[in-house]
């Protein structure tokens, strides 16, 4: 995936093809403008108030407790970006807004956008962090309940879409009975596998603040009897044993290069013979050629927010083999093309 300058008409096409258009300036400006405008519209409840039908800027301002003139400018920006329609002083949502940004839509990204707001805060001063090398602690237990709610529910939205696809793509040697989801606080991956395998019991090991939010989600999904939680830090807590499958989904990039092999060792020791460890993480092509936008930015992002890194696939494979895993299998994910899915057997 790549964000770039998209021409709107013949003049734009000619200007872009001439090589004289200052694309770095345009990409910087429109990247900031588009992302921040969508976040503002979501946080202020604009799309939700329009779920009940067309309204004027004055009516929307009254519904959301905002200044009417300022609200009108935000609505016009959302109109220009294609997220609202405007006709004779009234605003309505577009099809993509109704599909992706409404709370009650089956494909809603509402919680994800709120999570993006937290990411925005974290990367606000990249220059200072790069100068002094100081990084954040994204998973600090001192962060607010609002942060943990948007974080866990935001990740849960991704997992809701990806979970059933992963359940189909990961081949197991036998029907699993016991699953450990390491750092899987929202529970949606465990839920997807429990729905596929009726006898499966899942356990999620995660930080207390994540567990608090995850229990609510699992209860809402009606799986509280089959998906249970255990509070702890997966780096230092005991994992237990006897598992048929262990998820390390978006875990490897949260630990240091020296910690990563130890995580694979813990997974190996916690699995039954023939058991499967499944890794889902950001793709990374290695350090010998140009990176994709996903590889490059995620490497920066995870360093800034956590002091860690996205690791190349060759490193992850080596750690798995050194831990004792065999039959390593890589699968492509149509729904998550920028992610690496790699699993192996004990």
* pLDDT of res. 228: 97
pLDDT tens-place string over residues 306-346: 888 899 999 999 999 999 999 999 998 888 778 899 999 99
* pLDDT of res. 285: 80
Q: Which residues pair with 203 in a beta bridge?
A: 180, 228
**Contact assessment for residue 94 and residue 130, using Cβ atoms and an 8 Å cutoff:** no
10-103 folds as Arc Repressor Mutant, subunit A (1.10.10)
* 12 has a pLDDT exceeding 60: no
CATH no., domain 126-345: 3.40.50.150
* 14 has a pLDDT exceeding 60: no
Q: Which is nearest to 336 in space by CA: 148, 157, 214, 110?
A: 157
* 167 has a pLDDT exceeding 80: yes
pLDDT tens-place string over residues 232-274: 999 999 999 999 999 999 999 999 999 999 999 999 999 999 9
Q: What is the mean pLDDT of residues 51-70?
A: 96
Cβ burial of 252 (10 Å; 0-12, 13-18, 19+) is buried
* pLDDT of res. 5: 59
Q: What is the mean pLDDT of residues 45-49?
A: 96
**Nearest-angstrom CA–CA distance, 26 and 4:** 9
* pLDDT of res. 195: 96
pLDDT tens-place string over residues 91-133: 999 999 999 999 888 888 888 898 888 888 877 788 888 888 8
Cβ burial of 1 (10 Å; 0-12, 13-18, 19+) is exposed
For 249, half-sphere exposure in the C-beta direction (CA atoms, 13 angstrom radius) is: 27
- pLDDT band at 206, cuts 50/70/90? very high
Which tops the pLDDT comparison, 102 or 22?
102
**Contact assessment for residue 267 and residue 323, using Cβ atoms and an 8 Å cutoff:** yes
Q: What is the mean pLDDT of residues 169-188?
A: 95
Q: What is the mean pLDDT of residues 144-166?
A: 90
* pLDDT of res. 128: 86
* 278 has a pLDDT exceeding 70: yes
Q: Which is nearest to 250 in space by CA: 323, 192, 314, 308?
A: 308
* pLDDT of res. 137: 87
* 13 has a pLDDT exceeding 70: no
* pLDDT of res. 7: 61
% residues pLDDT > 90 (the chain): 63
Average pLDDT, the chain: 90
% residues pLDDT > 70 (the chain): 93
* pLDDT of res. 25: 67
**Strand locations in the chain, DSSP E?**
84-87, 90-93, 178-182, 201-206, 227-231, 243-249, 271-282, 326-331, 339-345
Domain boundaries, the chain: 10-103, 126-345
- pLDDT band at 70, cuts 50/70/90? very high
């Amino acid at each position: 995936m790549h964000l770039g300058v998209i021409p709107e008409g013949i003049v734009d096409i000619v200007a872009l093809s001439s090589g004289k258009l200052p694309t770095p300036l345009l990409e910087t400006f429109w990247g900031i403008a588009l992302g921040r405008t969508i976040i503002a519209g979501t946080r202020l409840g604009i799309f939700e108030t329009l779920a009940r039908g067309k309204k004027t800027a004055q009516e929307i301002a009254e519904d959301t407790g905002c200044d009417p003139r300022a609200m009108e400018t935000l609505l016009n920006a959302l109109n220009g970006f294609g997220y609202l329609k405007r006709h004779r002083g009234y605003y309505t949502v577009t099809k993509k807004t109704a599909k992706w940004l409404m709370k009650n839509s089956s494909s809603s990204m509402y919680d994800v956008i709120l999570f993006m707001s937290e990411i925005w805060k974290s990367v606000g001063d990249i220059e200072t962090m790069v100068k002094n090398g100081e990084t954040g602690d994204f998973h600090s237990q001192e962060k607010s309940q609002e942060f943990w709610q948007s974080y866990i529910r935001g990740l849960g939205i991704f997992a809701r879409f990806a979970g059933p696809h992963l359940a189909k793509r990961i081949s197991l040697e036998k029907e699993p009975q016991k699953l450990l989801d390491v750092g899987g606080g929202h529970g949606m991956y465990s839920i997807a596998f429990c729905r596929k395998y009726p006898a499966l019991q899942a356990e999620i090991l995660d930080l207390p603040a994540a567990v608090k939010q995850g229990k609510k989600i699992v209860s809402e999904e009606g799986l509280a009897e089959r998906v249970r939680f255990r509070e702890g830090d997966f780096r230092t807590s005991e994992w237990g044993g006897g598992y048929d499958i262990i998820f390390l989904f978006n875990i490897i990039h949260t630990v240091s290069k020296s910690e990563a092999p130890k995580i694979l060792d813990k997974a190996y020791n916690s699995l039954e013979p023939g058991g499967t460890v499944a890794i889902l993480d950001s793709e990374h092509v290695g350090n010998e050629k140009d990176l994709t936008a996903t590889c490059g930015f995620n490497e920066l992002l995870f360093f800034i927010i956590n002091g860690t890194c996205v690791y190349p696939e060759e490193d992850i494979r080596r750690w798995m083999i050194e831990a004792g895993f065999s039959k390593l299998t890589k699968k492509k994910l149509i729904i998550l093309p920028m992610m690496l899915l790699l699993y192996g057997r004990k």
